[in-house]
Structure 1
Amino acid sequence: MSDSAAPLADPHLIFDPLAGEGRRDIVILGSTGSIGTQAIDLVLRNPARFRVTALSANGGRVGLLAEQAYRLRVEQVAVAREDVVPQLREALRAEYGAGEPLPEILAGPDAAAEIAASPCHTVLNGITGSIGLAPTLAALRAGSTLALANKESLIVGGPLVKAVAKPGQIIPVDSEHAALFQALAAGTRADVRKLVVTASGGPFRGRTKAELASVTREEALAHPTWAMGPVITVNSATLVNKGLEVIEAHLLYDIPFEQIEVVVHPQSYVHSMVEFTDGSTLAQATPPDMRGPIAIGLGWPERVPDAAPAFDWTRASTWEFFPLDTEAFPSVGLARHVGTLAGTAPAVFNAANEECVDAFLAGRLPFNAIMETVTEVVGEHGVPTAGTSLTLPDVLEAETWARARARELSNQVAAEARA
Structure 2
Amino acid sequence: MHSPPALRQVAVFGATGSIGASALDVIARHPDRYRAAVLAAGTQVQALLALCVAHRPDHAVIADAAGFAALRDGLRAAGLSTQAHAGPDALDQLAASDICDTVVAAIVGAAGLSSTLAAASAGKRILLANKESLVLAGELLMQRATAAGAEIIPIDSEHSAIFQCLRSRDASLDQAGVRRILLTASGGPFRGRSRAELEQVTPAQAVAHPKWSMGPKISVDSATLMNKGLEVIEAHHLFNVPGERIEVLVHPQSLVHSLVEFIDGSTLAQLGLPDMRTTLAVGLGWPQRIESGVAGLDLLTQGRLDFEAPDTDAFPCLRLAWQAMAAGGTAPAILNAANEVAVSAFLQGRIAFLNIPALVANALSTLPAGPADTLEGLLAADQRARQITQTAIDTH
Taking structure 2 as the reference length, what is the TM-score of the superposition? 0.94
Go from structure 1 to structure 2 and tell me whether the alpha carbon gap of 1:77 and 1:379 turns closer, same or farther (over 3 Å shift).
same
Matches within 5 A, 1:104-253: 104-119=83-98, 120-166=100-146, 169-187=151-169, 189-253=175-239
Contact 2:154 2:160 in 1 (8 A): yes
Contact 2:56 2:80 in 1 (8 A): no
Q: Determine the structure 2 residue equivalent to 1:44.
A: 28
* Distance across 1 between alignment mates of 2:366 and 2:31: 51
Q: Structure 1 residue 184: deviation in Å?
A: 0.8
Go from structure 1 to structure 2 and tell me whether the alpha carbon gap of 1:358 and 1:305 turns closer, same or farther (over 3 Å shift).
same
* Distance across 1 between alignment mates of 2:260 and 2:244: 14
* Distance across 1 between alignment mates of 2:364 and 2:91: 29
Q: Structure 1 residue 110: deviation in Å?
A: 2.2
SS in 1 for 2:211: coil
Q: Structure 1 residue 112: deviation in Å?
A: 2.0
The amino acid of 1:395's aligned partner reads L
The amino acid of 2:327's aligned partner reads L
* Distance across 1 between alignment mates of 2:376 and 2:264: 45
The amino acid of 1:62's aligned partner reads V
Q: Determine the structure 2 residue equivalent to 1:14.
A: none
Q: Residues 58-84 of structure 1, C-alpha deviation per residue, up to 9 Å, x if partnerless?
A: 01x221101111211111111111111
Q: Structure 1 residue 118: deviation in Å?
A: 2.2
Q: Of 351, 357, 371, which aligns to 2:357?
A: 371
Go from structure 1 to structure 2 and tell me whether the alpha carbon gap of 1:20 and 1:349 turns closer, same or farther (over 3 Å shift).
farther
Q: Of 287, 296, 316, which aligns to 1:310?
A: 296
Q: Determine the structure 1 residue equivalent to 2:379.
A: 396
Number of aligned residues: 387
The amino acid of 1:89's aligned partner reads R
Contact 1:140 1:165 in 2 (8 A): yes
* Distance across 2 between alignment mates of 1:412 and 1:223: 31
Contact 1:131 1:153 in 2 (8 A): no
* Distance across 2 between alignment mates of 1:45 and 1:272: 27
SS in 1 for 2:208: coil
CA RMSD of aligned residues (A): 1.6
Contact 1:32 1:64 in 2 (8 A): yes
Taking structure 1 as the reference length, what is the TM-score of the superposition? 0.89
Q: Of 377, 390, 395, which aligns to 1:407?
A: 390
Contact 1:247 1:335 in 2 (8 A): yes
Q: Residues 102-130 of structure 1, C-alpha deviation per residue, up to 9 Å, x if partnerless?
A: 31111123232222112222111011112
Structure 2, unpaired ranges of 5+ = none
Q: Determine the structure 2 residue equivalent to 1:12.
A: none
Q: Determine the structure 2 residue equivalent to 1:11.
A: none
Q: Determine the structure 2 residue equivalent to 1:261.
A: 247
Q: Determine the structure 1 residue equivalent to 2:10.
A: 26
* Distance across 2 between alignment mates of 1:127 and 1:330: 27
Q: Of 34, 39, 59, which aligns to 1:55?
A: 39
Q: Residues 227-268 of structure 1, C-alpha deviation per residue, up to 9 Å, x if partnerless?
A: 011111111011111000000000011111111000101111
Q: Of 70, 83, 86, which aligns to 2:66?
A: 83
Contact 1:201 1:237 in 2 (8 A): yes
Q: Of 35, 51, 64, which aligns to 1:68?
A: 51
Q: Structure 1 residue 224: deviation in Å?
A: 0.1
Q: Structure 1 residue 89: deviation in Å?
A: 2.8
Go from structure 1 to structure 2 and tell me whether the alpha carbon gap of 1:324 and 1:101 turns closer, same or farther (over 3 Å shift).
closer
Contact 1:67 1:92 in 2 (8 A): no
Structure 1, unpaired ranges of 5+ = 1-18, 414-419
* Distance across 1 between alignment mates of 2:352 and 2:282: 38
